[in-house]
Structure 1
Amino acid sequence: MRTLVGLLTSNRALLQLEAARCLHELSHSEISAVAEACLPATSYLLTYLSGHSSEFVELCLYTLGNLIVESEAVRRQLLPQGIVLAFASCIQSPHMAVLEALGYALSQLLQAKEAPEKIIVSVLDSTLPQHMLRLMQPGPKLNPGVAVEFAWCLHYIICSQVNNALLITHGALSTLELLLLDLAGAVQRMEDEGLELLACPVLRCLSNLLAEVPVEAVECQMQPIDERVVVALFILFQFFLQKQPTLLPEGLWLLNNLTANSPAFCTSLLSLDLIEPLLKLLPLSNVVSVLVLTVLCNIAEKGPAYCQRLWPGPLLPCVLETLALSDTEVVGQSLELLRLLFLYKPEAAQAFLQQSGLQALERHQEVQLQDRVHALRQMVLHR
């Protein structure tokens, strides 16, 4: 290590580069002691981030990223030395390879167990968030690799819940919405290569931001494009069905958070006739079923006018099919949807009775469902 540090700090550029490559190879080791052994080199790697060679800076960033994630000692040393400020300077680089490497290194730093208390506050106080969002803006200059790395960085910051209001002030919500629309546009243009890599963090970022934002703020910021957001999600659902089914729950979780407190988004689903396409997702898996049923509950709980538009249609046969399942969570969510429908649309109870609904209920004797089954049975029989 002393030899490597000596070569890294020499005045011969090629030797410096080769020493950095050796350190990069070492940084991949799964042996924790290796990261500790590299500690004497980390301060120099940090200093060289302001260098002129983009190849050298890129190598230093990837090496730092690998060491940061492996060693708390490395993080303890680099934080007081100004790693966040060094990253904030790097993010203004014109070189896409450097920016992608920076996104990787920053994402490793943000995943540290002490990040919410000791790191994310510093990141939010720097210029990094504004530049990250700038690099995620859709358009001809958007670099997919860079956008993916910074989308994950944004995800880790949002999940920390340190100061998401600040991110919204910087335009995080609108940037993510526009990126979602851009992803749906790429699917329509058949330019979807690698799209799922960006879709996952974008969906998670939006979902988690919306879970915190007051409904008034959501509708205020999103209302002009609420229908476009919903349409974009359903375009992505079709893409996920064909190419990446594991991403369906991510999209449905976002749809749940959009409709949970917003009548505007519920109205969009109804007016665009998207209930039937939503119901077609029910048989895919228990996780998907629960999320679809939750979205339908979000609509139904908005009151009689919304239940009126949900009914009639394929809803009741689909819900009866979910009652035939054995998964307690799926059945529980189906019972909640039926309760809301019977409450706001009494004739739904009559249709349920006529289609052997009581027999479907009788299948469920699980302790955790007994009270709800009994209450629903009473609603049907004493409507």
Structure 2
Amino acid sequence: MWRRSKPRHQSLPGLEELRARRRERETALRKARREQQLISKRLLRDITDNEDDSLEGDLETHSLSEQQIVQLVKDVQHGSKEKLKSLITLRRGLQHKDVQLMFVRSEGSMRVLIGLFTCPFADVRMEAARCLHELSHSDDPSVTKACLPATSYLLTYLSGHSAEFTELCLYTLGNLIVESEHVRNQLLLQGVVPALALCTQSPHMAVLEALGYSLSQLLQSKEAPEKIIPIVLDSGLPQDILRLLRSDSEEWVGVAVEFSWCLHYIISSQLKNTLLISQGIVSKLVLFLTETAALASKTAVQGLELLICPVLRCLGNLLAEVDLAGNKVRIQDGRLLAAIFVFMQLYLHEHPFLVRECLWTLNNLTAEDPVLCSAMLHLNVLPVLFQLLSHSKAVSLLVLTVLCNVADLGPAYCQHLGQKDILPSIITTLGCADTEVKRQSLELLNILFRHCPYFVVDFLHHAGLQVLESFKDQPDLHPQVQAIWNQCPTGTVQLNEESSGLPLMD
């Protein structure tokens, strides 16, 4: 009855409203993530603002005039002794939108700037790249278009020896990738994917984080499933991404967050998930989550929740796939269940969005899987789920769905739920104000009563009829209430009807 679900795809039958709400929530999460760190362009201005003190008096951050821009370009072009100083002044001026527009419209200015990428002096090349980086951060299409002739140089320098220069090139490429499909098509023709793949071997965490940012720009574009992800899969990048998720560096989390989102975009495309499954991606993700749960239990790692979220989504989506033999993916590892409950308890109050991600993955894990459901019962985590029923509407719905997965497996599972006092918890949710939560609670009751009819008596002893009476003016819930009513013992129902005044439902 209960089916595994994933974002933007088939969900639980008979729970259309829940599916719509879940889709809205996950869209909002992705939107927030993109706006804050992925889609929005990045600026490495912090690494360029600490210049030599001797230049400080001349480095005004005020906007430049058109005449000043022309003069600076001439100073740079004609090999003046003040070339570097002029470039620094220009770069400071390019922090202003009006200067950017005047610069790209000035005849020959971009040609001169891009020409400096072949300069024999590393400090001049670096400052020219910083100027281009300022331009790449612009939201004006004409400025971005003016930067396009530099992309071949940016890709070439990705294989250079300077980690700082490579990092700058990667962020500049990432900013340009955001701009349009035309830019991405040009970069694909120039070999951007193989160039990025080479950067995965860098020992520098700053370079790897910049690489993850640029790659994520490609992978989340609208044309990615058709044009980009197939190339990425053929390049072997997913295996490098899995490798880069694990590190002992203090800067590891930033790198892992970027690459975990890259992996999420690849898996969400559903292009070659069967191949990834055959290459052992599921077991690697399970190991990663169990190790991360152990780490989170011992040490407070800043930003760890941003990493756990996309990895859970990756695993949850893979659980809805089939392997090469056509069988559903199964994870019979109790350590993963333990890890999920560790995350929920650690982040419940500070990062409640992660609890929803955990429950969504838990739903996919337990759907039609007696082994995982048995493991969950064995771990004695039901009290945690019962407590979450009072947390929020979204969390309550997901918890109820997981409990339905367990109950739907038959009498033995329902009996175990009854022994853990599930009925009082359900009756509490029936008293909430939200109709969706009430409907899902009634669905769970129906499953319990179908498999264990004697639960009906316990339900009545817990003022069940009075609860049902409160629904008589809610026609949206009549089918569920009627189904429960039909399972009540006739004598008990009639006796309580006379005392409660609850009319028989047609």
TM-score tier, shorter chain, comes to over 0.9
Aligned length: 379
Measured on the aligned residues, the alpha-carbon RMSD in Å equals 1.9
Are residues 1:12 and 2:121 paired?
Answer: yes
Q: Which residue of structure 1 lines up, in the alignment, with residue 314 of structure 2?
A: 205
Quote the offset at 1:374 in angstroms.
Answer: 1.4
Greater RCO, 1 or 2 (C-alpha within 8 Å, sep 6+): 2
Q: Which residue of structure 1 lines up, in the alignment, with residue 285 of structure 2?
A: 176
Q: Which residue of structure 2 lines up, in the alignment, with residue 93 of structure 1?
A: 202
Q: Which residue of structure 2 lines up, in the alignment, with residue 281 of structure 1?
A: 388
CA-to-aligned-CA distance 1:308-357 (integer Å, 9 cap, x gap): 11113331111111111232221121111101100111111111122221
Seen in structure 2, the aligned counterparts of structure 1 residues 33 and 353 have a Cα distance that, compared at 3 Å, is farther
What CA distance in whole angstroms lies between the structure 1 residues aligned with 2:368 and 2:477? 26
Quote the offset at 1:138 in angstroms.
Answer: 6.2
CA-to-aligned-CA distance 1:40-98 (integer Å, 9 cap, x gap): 11122112212221111111001101110122221011111111111111112222221
2:140 aligned to which of 31, 34, 50: 31
Equivalent positions of 1:216-227 (< 5 A) are: 218-219=329-330, 222-223=331-332, 226-227=333-334
Quote the offset at 1:287 in angstroms.
Answer: 0.2
Q: Which residue of structure 2 lines up, in the alignment, with residue 379 of structure 1?
A: 487
The answer to whether the 8 Å contact 1:42/1:74 transfers is: no
Query: Runs of 5+ in structure 2 lacking a partner?
Result: 1-109, 494-506
Are residues 1:134 and 2:243 paired?
Answer: yes
- Tell me whether 262-271 or 356-365 shows the greater mean CA deviation: 356-365
Q: Which residue of structure 2 lines up, in the alignment, with residue 338 of structure 1?
A: 445
Structure with greater helix share of residues = 1
What CA distance in whole angstroms lies between the structure 2 residues aligned with 1:179 and 1:31? 41
Are residues 1:122 and 2:231 paired?
Answer: yes
The answer to whether the 8 Å contact 1:180/1:232 transfers is: yes
The answer to whether the 8 Å contact 1:36/1:71 transfers is: no
TM-score for the superposition, normalised by structure 2:
0.72
The answer to whether the 8 Å contact 1:148/1:197 transfers is: yes
CA-to-aligned-CA distance 1:245-285 (integer Å, 9 cap, x gap): 22110011111111012111100111111111111111111
Q: Which residue of structure 1 lines up, in the alignment, with residue 99 of structure 2?
A: none
CA-to-aligned-CA distance 1:121-180 (integer Å, 9 cap, x gap): 110011211111111246679922221111110001111111111222232211211111
What CA distance in whole angstroms lies between the structure 1 residues aligned with 2:489 and 2:436? 25
Amino acid corresponding to residue 308 of structure 1 in structure 2: Q
The answer to whether the 8 Å contact 2:176/2:183 transfers is: yes
What CA distance in whole angstroms lies between the structure 1 residues aligned with 2:455 and 2:322? 34
Q: Which residue of structure 1 lines up, in the alignment, with residue 187 of structure 2?
A: 78
Q: Helix, strand or coil for the counterpart of 2:320?
A: helix
The answer to whether the 8 Å contact 2:320/2:329 transfers is: no
- Tell me whether 208-217 or 66-75 shows the greater mean CA deviation: 208-217
Q: Which residue of structure 2 lines up, in the alignment, with residue 266 of structure 1?
A: 373
Amino acid corresponding to residue 85 of structure 1 in structure 2: P
The answer to whether the 8 Å contact 2:246/2:252 transfers is: no
- Tell me whether 351-360 or 24-33 shows the greater mean CA deviation: 24-33
Q: Which residue of structure 2 lines up, in the alignment, with residue 22 of structure 1?
A: 131
Equivalent positions of 1:105-254 (< 5 A) are: 105-137=214-246, 143-213=252-322, 218-219=329-330, 222-223=331-332, 226-254=333-361
Amino acid corresponding to residue 183 of structure 1 in structure 2: T
The answer to whether the 8 Å contact 1:158/1:205 transfers is: yes
What CA distance in whole angstroms lies between the structure 2 residues aligned with 1:140 and 1:24? 27
Q: Helix, strand or coil for the counterpart of 1:371?
A: helix
Seen in structure 2, the aligned counterparts of structure 1 residues 345 and 138 have a Cα distance that, compared at 3 Å, is farther
TM-score for the superposition, normalised by structure 1:
0.94
What CA distance in whole angstroms lies between the structure 1 residues aligned with 2:248 and 2:412? 40
Are residues 1:359 and 2:466 paired?
Answer: yes
The answer to whether the 8 Å contact 1:342/1:348 transfers is: yes
Structure of greater Rg = 2
What CA distance in whole angstroms lies between the structure 1 residues aligned with 2:447 and 2:226? 42
2:417 aligned to which of 310, 320, 343: 310
Q: Helix, strand or coil for the counterpart of 1:311?
A: helix
Quote the offset at 1:381 in angstroms.
Answer: 4.3
Query: Runs of 5+ in structure 1 lacking a partner?
Result: none
What CA distance in whole angstroms lies between the structure 1 residues aligned with 2:247 and 2:357? 21
What CA distance in whole angstroms lies between the structure 2 residues aligned with 1:142 and 1:231? 26
What CA distance in whole angstroms lies between the structure 2 residues aligned with 1:314 and 1:123? 50
What CA distance in whole angstroms lies between the structure 1 residues aligned with 2:336 and 2:382? 16
Q: Which residue of structure 2 lines up, in the alignment, with residue 370 of structure 1?
A: 478
Q: Helix, strand or coil for the counterpart of 1:30?
A: coil
